[in-house]
Structure 1
């Protein structure tokens, strides 16, 4: 097939070459470059209404630029999407690309992309291979309501455009590598001087380090996470150590609990080859490791990259310094055990306080926390985030201890004035938590659990994602638990009817994604 460039393409070639040449200037803003690159692509394809420039690293998709779509959402996130059609230099046209890729991504990713992108009729995608793992994708879109379709001329034009862009992008990447090497050489010239400065600061700031560990002991919920966080804190203060392991030693083997600088290491266990003068060698790893005992059979292993680094260990008494800091941590950890138990008692006391005159049953708080915990797990929350969610759920109505009991036990409809008084419990709850627990995050979750997804809730009328995700979860869990409970003024709803109420109010009272996740779980776990 004979192909002839259109005048539009010819007119844009000088602009394209000028733009691509401009990246030879190392001060050029790459965000601006990506945006201009995408604008140029859209301008030379007459059917394109908007589009995206995407970096694909294995299954991780990162938006470099977007025109017409929501940059605020797209550029802040990394999306996990499976790839089944990456061919270098290939142009593919998709009808409704989001629906086509729906089966290749998690539902949450699909919903986020649907929210962030304008409805698309057709997408023309050009795949550009940078190396074995990195790809650039130009995605040019036709609006949903448009009657246009991409022509063969446009496909060939995008190929030409992509091939030109590829040359300059690869040159830019290589140039960046050279620039980085030059920077490293400059840094090496001052390395010893900088190490001395950092070591001096390390000793001057020992109290700050201990204080930081104190904060860690108060914020982490379980012993293993606590040890890992302190390990990360301690290792980062040693300027000439780039790789370290936190291990549990058993006979001639060590089990890896945490690692720094060993991104490639997939082994969970290592075999000890030799231990001599506090230096360990492993069968599976090259190099030497200086060991420092953390507690019981837990050790910090610092890798020595060069002989001079071991001399620095001796000159600066690194092991002795670490041992002193670890001793400080051990004392803090003992205090933490009693602190944790105290916090649990405080939370239980608060919940029990709201049981005055049978006004509010602790059973409801525990059920709400149970359902909220289920939703959090289904959404992939971390253990720390689940713990916060559970505590907030237990305390979500703690502010009702400040509401007159005669209003709370009233079996008839509340007057407008009485309803305004009841609404104050979210603010009272916030104030109680801030005063006695000094936990701003927990207090905010409790404060906003009566906000509605459509913005018609209280106390501030927040809308959608302005409401903390934990508050939106508690709203669903609280309502479901409440509907299943029998009250003096009404009978409880059946499980099926309660589920239908959640469905009927998703998108108005409740976050639709949370309702779908919870209802799906309830359907699979009768």
Structure 2
């Protein structure tokens, strides 16, 4: 009989049943989803319509009643005031505040003394001191015609920016002054007024959150901005009907528009029908009962077919187990064939593998002793190699050559065990200086005058016998005597020179005691070569980095000169900002590499202005919206140029976002908060501070104190709050 592939054996028996079950389940689930969704929406519509209408009617009634009550009290007090008497006025606003039955909703009652020019000269609300009401045309046109003693009431309005109600009343005093009483309400005013609706939402399992907006789409509850597409949608839907937009599986967004005495009110709700899944799964279990019943009915047939697969697999597994338990000896030829192609193939492959394993075991038993010895030697070698790798990685952390060499000198004795003593010296200004020693007297070595040429020099690693005798013949007697006094008796010396680009930087000498029988091994010489290569690489990299840094700075400064020629107003600005940003990043304790990146980014943060016409940059009058829009593109212009330059990708990104604001109202992408890179937030503060404290043809320079005040006023709005606090401490320290 032909052997059947395992895949065909299984698929023929399950394909048809799987397709039927899955198709049936999918259709039933989809129909159930549509049914439940419709039922929940219908129930939610009826309840929401009732609660929203009731709440909005109650909102209008309460505002009207509250306005009448407070207006009556304020009129009564104003009629008794004909001239400005601060004590009398403060007593009046206290009575208004205490006598109204809406005291629990009122936050404060304020007075404002307004001169004939519309400027607030005195007020109990200091934030509005100096405010010019004549700029509010509609209000001023109502106040100007008033005769002394006449009163004007401004109905309850929503304060711009807060959306909380205010009530204002004005009286013309005899001395050409206006007296204004104003009432503002607690932040939870709207929460109290809309409490029936909020309670309904809280109790609902379907409604996850609600937001109510004014006619100008200002939020009454959580100050959430509504997306433009939803604003447009709300304006088009009929009044008094709930409309839905599906936002995900079992999720949708509901919209409602209602006319009130104070204009349209827009309501949005996020709905999640996931709580109805209990019903869904209960019905689903019932609907799947039939397929499950069919499964159990076919169980005997499935078990029978499964045995045809399991039995030969078990037989093969038992043979494998017996093979391993009997020291890899077994008559493998006795394994019988099955009728399934893949299982017989496994058996065949196992037979070949088992023979190979048996031969390998015999060979392994003969070479175990050799392997153990090699293993021990390899372990020691691996540890040393890992140490060298670690030392190589650590070399990147050292900016000072002497500290780096001392670190290597401390470690090299673990790799060259024959060395008993050693010394470390560098060449500086034609003079050899000892900077470390082991065994020898470092203090005396440092007193020896060893000018270049009066000491053993080596271009490559070399071993020198009796180095003290050699030095006695090549250096002055006084220096030789000091050298003998400072040194331990030496038999032989391994000299490891430091060379790079044809220049000698110094050497590391490792010494074997004069009375020792040890000799430097080939392995020790190889390790000394490793250390020499590490030092050479460090020296070459340091020289390259210094050269690259100087080249980069020259190129960047050339770019800055071009920007300053193109833009008269930024003369010296880039240098000031870069120095300030570097000092600030140092105070913040950032890593050195990060400090430098901030420095370079600050130096060329206005590079993109080269692309903008000088007629716009140097325009003395106010810019048009189109011109200002073009100015706002300069971070993108700089980013597009720099992002493709090696090692400038991060700097390009910091420049791109240095005009973003914490509140998300900056440019070019409207990022906010922690979305803005820290480096960009630092440059933004330094850029603004220098701009404020620098004199321009179109403005006078701020004093340091004025600029600091401006930064503090914009904390959490334009600038990072914590960074402003740190920056102010830095500037005040100076």
Give the TM-score band, short-chain normalised. Answer: 0.3 to 0.5
Larger radius of gyration: 2
TM-score normalised according to structure 2 size? 0.34
